[in-house]
């Protein structure tokens, strides 16, 4: 599930970048880039701006939903942790080289001392 979500997130991210870069700035006409008037444009006189705005908004909504979903899945306590269950502590190294690391288990409670016996 998360691999599908990550793949969708990457595709939408790239699509959003391309869509934003394809848009013209304020005051620039779509027809001016083709060297023609507004009636000879691909989307009509003002249809290109509305179409690109709707596509940008749709891609932005999908991007935000995938971002929130990924944050939820990877922020849950069930996600994997980077902390190991046991810590390896290196032993004191001799002067000539390295030694094997010593694995120490997590500390446990110490047993209670027995009560002192009374003398008769």
- Whether 61 maps to a domain, the answer reads yes
- Give the pLDDT of residue 18: 93
- Whether 56 maps to a domain, the answer reads yes
- Whether 115 maps to a domain, the answer reads no
* Banded model confidence at residue 58, pLDDT cuts 50, 70, 90: very high
Query: Is the pLDDT confidence value at 34 over 60?
Result: no
- Whether 73 maps to a domain, the answer reads yes
The range of the structural domain enclosing residue 13 comes to 1-20+49-77
Q: For the purposes of burial, counting CB atoms within 10 Å of the CB of 71, is it exposed (0-12), middle (13-18) or buried (19 or more)?
A: exposed
* Banded model confidence at residue 42, pLDDT cuts 50, 70, 90: low
- Whether 94 maps to a domain, the answer reads no
- Whether 59 maps to a domain, the answer reads yes
- Whether 83 maps to a domain, the answer reads no
Q: What is the pLDDT of residues 75-118, one digit of tens each?
A: 876 666 666 667 777 666 566 566 666 666 666 666 666 667 77
Q: Report d(CA 31, CA 45) in Å as an integer.
A: 8
- Whether 40 maps to a domain, the answer reads no
Counted domains in the chain: 1
Model's pTM, two decimal places?
A: 0.50
Q: What is the DSSP letter of 84?
A: -
């Amino acid at each position: 599930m998360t691999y599908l979500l990550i793949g969708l997130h990457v595709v939408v991210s790239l699509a959003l970048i391309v869509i934003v870069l394809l848009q013209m700035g304020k005051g620039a006409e779509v027809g001016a880039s083709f060297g023609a008037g507004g009636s000879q444009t691909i989307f009509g006189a003002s249809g290109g701006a509305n179409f690109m705005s709707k596509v940008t908004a749709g891609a932005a909504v999908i991007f935000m939903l995938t971002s929130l979903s990924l944050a939820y899945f990877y922020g849950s306590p069930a996600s994997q942790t980077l902390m190991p269950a046991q810590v390896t502590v290196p032993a004191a190294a001799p002067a000539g080289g390295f030694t094997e690391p010593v694995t120490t288990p997590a500390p446990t409670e110490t047993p209670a001392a027995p009560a002192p016996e009374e003398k008769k």
